[in-house]
């Protein structure tokens, strides 16, 4: 059972989702405030990624409600959810999922261009974010030519470039060594906090979860808050 705070940016209640006979979510609860970093933890196959996908409106739940900024996500059309993801959400995935044929700066500028920004403006803004994430020297390189840590920082820049109110990060350091992972988490959380963006962070590493303000554990499709010792 998670605690629902009044004034939450995103709240989910009694979420259920099954893939065939497997119940990925079985009454999960979730809430997050602006500027908050919440880590979703749990073993492999526990349903944490499914919870993130449902919260982000990527996958519709079978039942339950998700309220974002007073709007019911489950009642929105696919086009409306896509528009929301484009304008108010940001995403970082485990392997970055950068478009291999685009240069790094073009990758970062991609969400802005999807929102209709001109190429020039989009790339100027993108370069600003790349500087903040210390990867501006990679602007002309393609993802295949940069290291995993660098690529993931480019992916973080791409997630933040639209100034999202909510950032979803699914195992953002899963493919990185500890040093690179820590650097990416520092940059990600610092940048998010500086813009008052909330971060939903899926991870199975306690070291990564330590960057969050609050932790939720998902097990067998159910979620519960974790009390922290310190």
Partner 1 sequence: MNTRQWARDLAVGARFAVTGGREGWVRMTLTAVGVGLGVALLLLCTALPNVFAARHKVEDARYDYTYSDKVPPKADDTFLIAATDTVWHDVDVRGRLVEPEGKRAPLPPGVDSFPGKGEMVVSPALKELLASDGAKLLRERLPYKITGTIGESGLIGSHELAYYAGASGLKLTDSSPVHRLTGYGKPDATPEKTDPVLLLMVLVVFVVLLTPVAVFIAAAVRFGGERRDRRLAALRLVGSDSHMTRRIAAGEALAGALLGLVIGSGFFLLGRQTLGSTELLGVSVWPSYLDPSPGLAALVAVAIPIAAVLVTLLAMRGVVVEPLGVVRAAKQRRRRLWWRLLPPLAGLTMLYPMIGKGHENGDFNQYLVIGGVLLLLIGITALLPWVVEAVVVRLGKGALSWQLAVRRLQLSSGTAARMVNGIAVAVAGAIALQMLFTGTQSQYTKATGKDPGRVQMQVDFSDRKPLSGVEREFTGTKGVRAAVALAISEYGDARRNPENSNGLTVGGCTALRELATLPSCKDGDVFVTRTRSHYTSSSNADEIAVLKPGRKLYIDPSYDDATERGIEAPWTVPANVRVVDAREDSLQDANSLLVTPAALPAKAVPALFSDGVYLRLDPSVPDSREHIRNVVARIDPLARAYSWSATEEDVKYTSIRTGLLVGSAFVLALIGASLLVSQLEQLRERRKLLSALVAFGTRRRTLSLSVLWQTALPVGLGLVLATTVGITLGSVLLKMTRTPVAMDWASVLTMTGVGAAVVGVVTLLSLPPLLRMMRPEGLRTE
Q: Which residues bind partner 1 (CB under 8 A)?
A: 19, 44-45, 49-50, 53, 56, 58-59, 82-87, 89-91, 93, 95, 97, 99-103, 106, 110-111, 113-114, 119, 142, 144-145, 159, 170
User: With respect to partner 1, which residue has the nearer C-beta, 30 or 91?
Assistant: 91
Q: Minimal distance in Å, beta carbon 229 to partner 1?
A: 31
Q: Which long-range contacts (CB under 8 A, 24 or more apart) does 144-148 make?
A: 144/100, 146/104, 147/180, 148/96, 148/175, 148/176, 148/180
Q: Minimal distance in Å, beta carbon 31 to partner 1?
A: 22
Q: SS3 for 98?
A: coil
User: With respect to partner 1, which residue has the nearer C-beta, 30 or 93?
Assistant: 93
Q: Minimal distance in Å, beta carbon 14 to partner 1?
A: 21
User: With respect to partner 1, which residue has the nearer C-beta, 2 or 49?
Assistant: 49
Side by side, which strands form the sheet with 198-202?
Answer: 89-92, 166-170, 198-202, 37-41, 214-219, 222-225
**DSSP for residue 122:** H
User: With respect to partner 1, which residue has the nearer C-beta, 99 or 226?
Assistant: 99
CA atoms of 104 and 88, how far apart (whole Å) = 22
User: With respect to partner 1, which residue has the nearer C-beta, 84 or 133?
Assistant: 84
CA atoms of 42 and 179, how far apart (whole Å) = 22
Element (H, E) at 160: helix 148-160
Q: Minimal distance in Å, beta carbon 7 to partner 1?
A: 26
Q: Minimal distance in Å, beta carbon 230 to partner 1?
A: 32
């Amino acid at each position: 059972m998670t605690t629902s705070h009044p004034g939450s940016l995103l709240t989910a209640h009694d979420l259920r989702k099954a893939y065939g006979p497997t119940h990925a979510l079985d009454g999960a609860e979730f809430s997050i405030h602006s500027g908050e970093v919440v880590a979703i933890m749990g073993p492999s196959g526990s349903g944490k990624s499914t919870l993130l996908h449902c919260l982000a409106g990527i996958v519709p739940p079978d039942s339950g409600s998700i309220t974002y900024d007073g709007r019911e996500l489950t009642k929105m059309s696919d086009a409306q959810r896509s528009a929301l993801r484009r304008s108010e959400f940001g995403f970082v995935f485990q392997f970055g999922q950068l478009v291999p044929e685009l240069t790094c700066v073009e990758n970062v500028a991609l969400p802005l261009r999807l929102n209709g920004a001109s190429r020039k403006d989009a790339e100027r803004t993108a370069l600003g974010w790349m500087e903040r994430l210390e990867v501006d020297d990679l602007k002309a390189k393609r993802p295949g030519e940069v290291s995993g840590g660098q690529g993931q920082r480019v992916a973080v820049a791409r997630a933040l470039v639209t100034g999202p109110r909510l950032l979803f990060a699914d195992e953002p350091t899963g493919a990185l060594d500890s040093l690179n992972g820590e650097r990416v988490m520092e940059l990600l959380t610092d940048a998010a906090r500086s813009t008052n963006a909330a971060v939903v962070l899926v991870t199975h590493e306690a070291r990564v979860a330590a960057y969050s303000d609050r932790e939720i554990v998902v097990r067998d499709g159910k979620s519960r808050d974790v009390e922290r010792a310190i």
